[in-house]
Amino acid sequence: MIALVQRVRQAHVEVAGQTLGAIEQGLLVFVCAEPNDDDSHAARLVIKLLNLRLFADAAGKMNLSVQDVAGGLLIVSQFTLAADTRSGNRPGFTGAATPAVGRALYERVLALARAAHPVVAAGEFGADMQVHLVNDGPVTIPLKL
């Protein structure tokens, strides 16, 4: 799986003008499943998200996790993270899982996150979404599991 994690002060996702998910302080996570991913990849991603130390402690060092600061997770599917831009000007997306596999793994990530963390919001798989955020830092971390 590929993920792009952004530490945010707030974020929300809209579809057709309706807010589907919103968080205050926490992590906005864009998620892309790859063809060989399975439930174990989803589980590893959730564990990593909950334990990444991206928030400042009293000394100003990034030593606290989203759990430590009681932050939220806003998880949004984004197959374009698998873009191949090595040749030409039009990205290819063969590195992304099929829509059926991508949906199943995205839903698995959401289920695991919701079972382990009290504040988990989400976008809508496959929808045309507008994501609004205030990046904190800015802190943006790419993950490849």
Which residues are catalytic, by number?
78-80
Helix (H, G, I), strand (E, B) or coil at 1: coil
Rounded CA gap, 65 and 78, in Å?
Answer: 23
Count, residues in the chain: 145
Inter-residue contact 132 to 12 (CB < 8 Å): yes
Spell out the residues 6+ positions from residue 91 whose beta carbon is closer than 8 angstroms to its own: 80, 83, 84, 85
For residues 89 and 84, what is the distance between their CA atoms, to the nearest angstrom? 10
